[in-house]
Every structure is written in C-alpha cells, then in structure tokens.
A and B are shown apart, each in its own frame.
Chain A
Amino acid sequence: MTAAADLLPATRNALSLLLLSMADDEFVIGFSDSEWTGIAPLLEEDVAMSSLAQDEIGHAQALYRLLAEVVDDGCDADAWAYDRPPDGYYHARLLDHPRGDWADTIVRRYLYDTADAVRLEALAGSTFEPLRDLVGKLRREERYHVMHVTTWFERLASATGEPRRRVLDALERMGPDAGTVLTPLPTELALDMAGILDAPMSELEARWRASLAPAFGALDLPVLPPTHDPGTSRTAHSDAFRRLHAEFTSVRWIDPGAIW
C-alpha cells in the first residue's frame, strides 16, 4: 500500500493513532532533552545532547507530516505539533517525567530509546510503504542514539557512589512508567490485520523487557516493575508536561499562523 486512500477506514484510523503516539513521543522527549542546551555536564556532551534532541524533533516532524497525510483533514505538521491543548497529546507517561538531573535524563532516554528501537523494528517490514520507508531512515539515526545513551547508562550505573545512587533513584521513580511506550493501543488489532505492525504491542513489550535483562543483570539493577495503570499510559499528563507544553507552544502562540 502506497497511499492512505488505499487503506480501510479502520486501518487508517488505527494507523493515525500509532503515528500520533510515535510523533508525540519523539516531540516530547526532543523538547525535554533540549533543555540541556547550555548546561550539560561538559561542552562536548552539550553539543551531543542538543544534537540528539534536534534529531528527535526532526523525527517528530517527519511523523507529523505522514500523520497529516493519513488523516488528511487540512491540519499540517505544525498544527499537529503545536495547536493542541496538553490533554490532546498522546505521548507515553514515561516522557511526562521532567528533565530532572543528568541521571534522570539518561535513564528516561535509555528506557525510551530501547523501547522505541523494538517498536521501529516491528514496523520495518510494514505493508504501508510510506511508513516502512520512514522507519528505515529513523532506525539509521536511532542506532546512534541507543549507542550514545547506553554508554552513559552503563557508566553511571556501574560507577560507585553518587552516579549509581542517582540511577537507582531515577529507575525507582520511572520504572513503573517505563513500559508505557509499548502499552497496547486501543485500535492496534487493525494494524496487525493489515500487516502494518508485525506483532501486538504486548509482544513488543515482552521483547523489550527480554532485551534489557542481560544489561540489567550485568549491572546488578532491579528488574523493572510491570506498568502502573496501563489504561492511562498515554493520557492524563503530568504538571511537568503542562509546563513543558506552555514553553514549547509559547512562540507559536505569540502570532498564530505567522510564517518565517
């Protein structure tokens, strides 16, 4: 399938929700991580984290564009990105955790990027060509993101004293929300039937948890708990997200519709 018009209405609806969840995930983590610009632990890392954050915004833009094509209701990518109230966003609750300290950011990014990698892998053979092509490009960049964050996660977790203590603390707070990236979507059966996603989200979550087990074992970290309240995994956002939303929409709302 090469065009949204070829899809059954139920498939199109389910695909929209999947694209919205992925785009919002990338958009929110991108904006949140961009808060390190200027204050990262060292200059080189400042450039690295800012560039990773920018990559995520770029991925969000590509996903919002595809979403706009699939929904085809006249909203463009910018309207999807900026013109919704906080409760209209559909990102995973893991990303509702604020930037926090460096360990919080690394733990949040590690949990997100490893889960996102499993999700992208499950879409790599999608029957919907525009998504398959985009996922192929996203995976090439996300490979580096996983390398970068794994380096930091492993060195903070295997250090003694403060770095490890902060990682354990962040895992305790974010652990119950870690699985929200792969919580089943209400309409995902249609994606499965159309061959857009290669397995149900519950199986992707099991793959992701299994993929983390060796690293968590080697680093002597506690096993992640099951997802807390999966029914609201992508709704009911935190006050921290409301503040972030006010920030990232502020320029757009100074003069709605302005062009640069």
Chain B
Amino acid sequence: MSRISERTLEPWEVFRREKEGDPMRHGGSVMAPDAVLAVHYARELYGRRQESAALWVVRRADIHDLSDPDLLQPPLDRSFKKPGGYVMRDKLAAARERSGADTPRPKSARGPRAATDTP
C-alpha cells in the first residue's frame, strides 16, 4: 500500500475506564479511516498495556460541542449562584464529634451528597 490519503482519515476521541467502577474519562484521540480501525488503534494506544478496563471510541464529528463563552463564562458577576460563603468546616467538625468519627469517611463510603468544607 503506497499511501493512505489524508482525506480518508479523521479523528476519533477515545474515552477509557481505568478500572471497574471508575467513570469514563477522556484519554486522547486517534486518526483512523473508520470505526473498525479506530477501535483497533484505540486498543493499541490506550489499552495494550492493560491500563484500561473498557474503552469508548467516538467519531469527533459526532460530538456536539459547546464552548461559547457567552453561554459558559458570562461576564457578569454570578458569584451568588455559587455555594460559597457558607462555611461548613465548624459544622462538620461538630457533626463528626457527635458521631464519634474523628476523620472523614473514605471516599468510597461517602454518600452522593457529601458535604463540602470549602468555603
């Protein structure tokens, strides 16, 4: 095969799950002419060293992109939409004392609505 035309290649985005239970995270991308080879190459570049438990391969052209700063980074002060200002640290410490736990529970044991102690 002398040459594969640039025209036939397109980017595919690769998402990988590092181990069971982890979320899918963006790993990178590969160039391939179609889904079959894109999956082969994703396997070679993001899975051949047993570093992934699962991969998703998505044609970049099929991704709906939103990066408009007017929609995502509006210029006016929106700090009132953030939960800052509610200092949780003391309340958390008191709650822990009541429950007898002196350290935060491990991440895996926390509920979905884990409190934050960042102001």
Chain A interface residues toward B at CB < 8 A: 41-45, 47-48, 51, 101-103, 144, 147-148, 151, 156, 162-163, 166
With A101-B1, A163-B1: A44-B36 Cβ-Cβ less than 8 Å: no
Does A151 lie within 8 Å of B1, measured CB to CB? no
Does A44 lie within 8 Å of B30, measured CB to CB? yes
Interface SS of chain B: helix, strand, loop or mixed? Answer: mixed
Contacts of B31 in A (CB 8 A): 42-44
Bound-complex Cα distance A13 to B2 (A):
46
Does B54 count as interface, using CB distance less than 8 angstroms? no
Contacts of A51 in B (CB 8 A): 44, 48
With A44-B30, A44-B31, A47-B45: A147-B2 Cβ-Cβ less than 8 Å: no
Within 8 A of A (CB), among B1-32: 1-4, 9, 30-32
Bound-complex Cα distance A163 to B31 (A):
20
Top 3 nearest A-B pairs (CB, nearest first) are: A44-B41, A102-B1, A48-B44
Does A47 lie within 8 Å of B40, measured CB to CB? no
Does B37 lie within 8 Å of A151, measured CB to CB? yes
Nearest A-chain residue to B37, judged by Cβ: A151
Q: Which residue in A44, A48, A156 is a CB contact (below 8 Å) of B1?
A: A156
Does A41 lie within 8 Å of B44, measured CB to CB? no
Q: Which residue in B9, B43, B45 is a CB contact (below 8 Å) of A42?
A: B9
Contacts of B30 in A (CB 8 A): 44
Contacts of B4 in A (CB 8 A): 41-42
Contacts of A156 in B (CB 8 A): 1
Bound-complex Cα distance A147 to B37 (A):
10
CB distance from B27 to the nearest CB of A (A): 14
Does B44 lie within 8 Å of A162, measured CB to CB? no
21 contacts between A and B (CB under 8 A): A41-B1, A41-B3, A42-B4, A44-B32, A44-B41, A44-B44, A45-B41, A47-B41, A47-B44, A47-B45, A48-B41, A48-B44, A101-B1, A102-B1, A103-B1, A147-B40, A151-B36, A151-B40, A162-B2, A163-B1, A166-B1
CB distance from B98 to the nearest CB of A (A): 53
Nearest B-chain residue to A151, judged by Cβ: B36
Bound-complex Cα distance A147 to B45 (A):
16
Does B43 lie within 8 Å of A144, measured CB to CB? yes
Contacts of A48 in B (CB 8 A): 40-41, 44
A48-B40, A144-B43, A162-B1 known; 15 new pairs, CB 8 Å cut-off, are: A41-B4, A42-B4, A42-B31, A44-B32, A44-B44, A47-B41, A48-B44, A51-B44, A101-B1, A147-B40, A151-B36, A151-B37, A156-B1, A162-B2, A166-B1
